[in-house]
Amino acid sequence: PAGRAPFRHDSGAHRAGLLRVAVRDGGNRHWELRGPMLSVLADPAESTLWVSGGDTVLRALCAQPADDPWSLEIHRQPPSPAGRRRAPVESLLWNTAVWSSQGRIPVTMDPDVAVAVRGWPDLTGCVLTPSVLAVTALLAAGPQRPADVSTLLAIPRSHAFVVLAALSAMLVFVSGL
């Protein structure tokens, strides 16, 4: 419904969505997502990403539209991670989703279709937002409609939606239950 539009977020239109697509499409290959102020290298053997720039730069870039020239390059040999910091794929996907969603639910998630968490996610290195443990525990206990999560936990909707966006980015949901 139209009343939900302000609470929806299209991650594909932001740089966090570019990272998610690169992780999904890069598969088991060495790839590099390169932009004007940041680049991310993938090491599929260790399920690791190497990021140039710190979280401050990444956070500022996540909330901006993906309109700058970005490129995804596939490499035959692993590029050198020199001058970059190591980040597990899951934590980088989580963090970029938190920073870009700004407390809104992804447009790819139907708020009326129940979802559950496949298993408790590894939150090491993840930005912990208010209510992250409560929302994750609720969804680990069984399926819930995203539209009902904030009411069930008596928390602000933005607190529930930011966690739902991050869990969605980590691909730990089972939906349509």
3-state secondary structure 152-172: HHCCCHHHHHHHHHHHHHCCC
**Mean of pLDDT over the chain:** 82
* Model confidence pTM above 0.95: no
Structure tokens at 38: 């940041």
Q: pLDDT by residue (tens digit) across 93-122?
A: 888 888 888 888 888 888 999 999 988 888
d(CA 126, CA 101): 15
Q: Which one is predicted more confidently, 86 or 4?
A: 86
Q: What integer pLDDT is reported at residue 89 of this predicted model? A: 85
Q: What integer pLDDT is reported at residue 140 of this predicted model? A: 93
Structure tokens at 83: 């001058």
d(CA 57, CA 125): 17
Least confident residue range of 28-32, 76-80, 172-176: 172-176
Least confident residue range of 22-36, 57-71, 140-154: 57-71
Q: What integer pLDDT is reported at residue 2 of this predicted model? A: 45
Q: Which one is predicted more confidently, 39 or 63?
A: 39
